[in-house]
Every structure is written in C-alpha cells, then in structure tokens.
Amino acid sequence: MATPPLDVSASVVREFYNRHPFPDFDLGKYALGEDLYRCANSYALLLDSHLPRDASVLDVGCGTGQLSSLLALKGRRVVGLDFSSASIRKGLALRDRLGLENLELREVDAGRARRPAGEERFDFVLVHGVIPCVPEPQRFLTQVTSEFAASRAWLTVGLYNRWGRGVLRLMRRFAHRQGTPGGGVDIAVPPAVDAMLLSETQDPNKVDSWIADQLEPAFERSHTVADVCRWLDACDAQWVKSLPGLPGDPGKSAPLFGGAGGKPPRGVLARLAECFWLVTLRDTGGYFVVVARLPERA
C-alpha cells in the first residue's frame, strides 16, 4: 500500500475525513446515554471518571462526537471542534438523539479557530488524534491553547509514538486490496488494526472508518516524547504524566488531573522505556497520551 505523503494540504485531509467520518458509528446502537458507556474505550471512561462535573471541556478534533457526548452526559459544558462536515453532522445527530443541550459541536479548523466574543475559556483542552494530521504541531498547540485555554487549564494530547507505531507501519506493507465477487474491494487487515476492532465487529461503519484511517490515511506523522516536551515548552506548559507512564511520572494511583506532576522525561531511562513501546503499544497502533498543565494567565 502507498506510504502517506509527508506534505499535503488541509483540504485533502478534510476531504478524506468527509469520505471517512472518524471514528464513525451506527447511530442505531446509541438509543440511551448508557449505550455510550457500554461502547466507550477504557481511556474515555478514565477521562469521564476524573473530570469534575462542573468542568468546561474543549474537545479538539472531536470527529463524530462519541467522546464529546459521553463527557456531556454528566452535565459538563462541552464544545467539540472538527473541520470535517460529515463528522460534525454525525456528531450532531448523536447529540440530538441523546438530548445533550450542554454539548455544542462546531465545524471549524481548530488550528485557525477563534474563540467567539464573550465566550469563557475552557478548564480542560483535549487534543486527541489530531496531531498526526497536523504538519506543524507546535504552532497548532500554541494557537489552540492561547485562544481557548483558561488560566491553569489542563491539556491532554493523544498522538502516535514513532517507536510504538513501528508494528503498524510494518503491517501496512502486508495489507493489500483484493477483488471481491461483487466487484468491490476488500482489505486484508493486519493484526495491529484487527486488535483495535475486536469490540466493534458489529458496527461496519466504524470498522470501515478505522481501516481507512489506519491503513490509508491522507496524511500521517508520528512523534517522540521529546517532540511533545518541546511543544509543551513552547506553550509554557508543565509535563504531568503520560499514558502509559514513563520514569519520573506519578504512579498509576495518582489522579489524572492533580498533584505536583512529574518531571519531563528527558533521561536515558525514559528513552529506553519509550523504545519499549514498540512492543507494548503494538495493539493500539502506538497511540499514547500526555497530560500537561498550562500556565497561569495574566
């Protein structure tokens, strides 16, 4: 399969996600709020359990809105941003079905968006899965946080690790399109992608979206922990922890948002631990999350 290009316009990426809304879903499986919990992954449930109920949350790159909707179920003010019109339409359909009046979804390019006049800033800024599609992550994060983050806001950044993504990059070489009796095409799914979809095999919309996103993205980059540390420095943000953890991070029992935080993982042990993600993150495509604390505003 072709390697995704290193330089591609935002319009090409937007069109890709208009064809493949991500992470997509069959609206029929969400009749009640409880269905969001039933279908949520462990990280979404962790976020929901640690976010205060009175928090204001910005979900940058919200896609089809399952996470935004789940976090809004407990009454939090949630705003989701995404530049894919197809994804936003699906997210709005889910929001309206569940009657979530405290959830707003906006079709905008988050890296160029401006906060509406008079709108308060957000206590929590979630940037999940967007960075792999962004040519200039440091500029993107600086723009988003300076425009939308409240004083001492919390920031989470989810992205692909350069080491942890190694297995999936290798498996892409073995994935192939093949003809079907009906004249269409099928894709041989490598194990790393198949592992992500084991709980979603009854939702063909989501399966198709994941296969396109993981095997044939319009644009994708992976990054190291050192890259993230550099971006946080540019935002004057304090490293708190990563998921999975690295040497120097608070223990697993520490709250996701709170405490003194950890030390930026710049030592040899941290580098070795990150290299080991080649093995430990193989079934998640190398995805990891960094939690940081933004500075106090003047």
Q: In what order do the strands lie in the sheet with 149-160?
A: 103-107, 77-82, 56-60, 122-128, 149-160, 287-293, 238-243
165 CB neighbour count, 10 Å cutoff: 26
Band of the pLDDT at 64, cuts 50, 70, 90? very high
Band of the pLDDT at 182, cuts 50, 70, 90? very low
pLDDT tens readout for residues 219-249: 999 999 999 999 999 999 999 999 999 998 8
How many domains are there within the chain? 1
Q: Go through the chain and tell me how many residues it has.
A: 298
* 148 pLDDT more than 70: yes
Give the domain extent around 154: 10-293
pLDDT tens readout for residues 19-36: 999 999 999 999 999 999
* 297 pLDDT more than 60: yes
Does residue 132 belong to any structural domain of this protein? yes
* β-bridge partners, 178: 186
User: What is the pLDDT, as a whole number, of residue 6?
Assistant: 44
Percent of all residues in the chain with a pLDDT value above 90, rounded to a whole number: 69
* 201 pLDDT more than 80: no
* 197 pLDDT more than 80: no
Does residue 4 belong to any structural domain of this protein? no
Band of the pLDDT at 9, cuts 50, 70, 90? confident
User: What is the pLDDT, as a whole number, of residue 118?
Assistant: 92
Does residue 15 belong to any structural domain of this protein? yes
Does residue 3 belong to any structural domain of this protein? no
User: What is the pLDDT, as a whole number, of residue 178?
Assistant: 46
Band of the pLDDT at 261, cuts 50, 70, 90? low
pLDDT tens readout for residues 97-131: 999 999 999 999 999 999 999 999 999 999 999 99
Average pLDDT over residues 31-54: 94
Mean pLDDT of the chain: 88
Which CATH number is 150's domain given?
A: 3.40.50.150
Comparing 179 with 23, which gets the higher pLDDT? Answer: 23
Residue 202: exposed, middle, or buried by beta-carbon count in 10 A (0-12, 13-18, 19+)?
A: exposed
* 162 pLDDT more than 90: yes
User: What is the pLDDT, as a whole number, of residue 202?
Assistant: 66
Band of the pLDDT at 187, cuts 50, 70, 90? low
User: What is the pLDDT, as a whole number, of residue 77?
Assistant: 98
Low-confidence winner among 133-147, 201-215, 231-245 (lowest mean pLDDT)? 201-215
Low-confidence winner among 86-90, 112-116, 130-134, 261-265 (lowest mean pLDDT)? 261-265
Band of the pLDDT at 181, cuts 50, 70, 90? very low
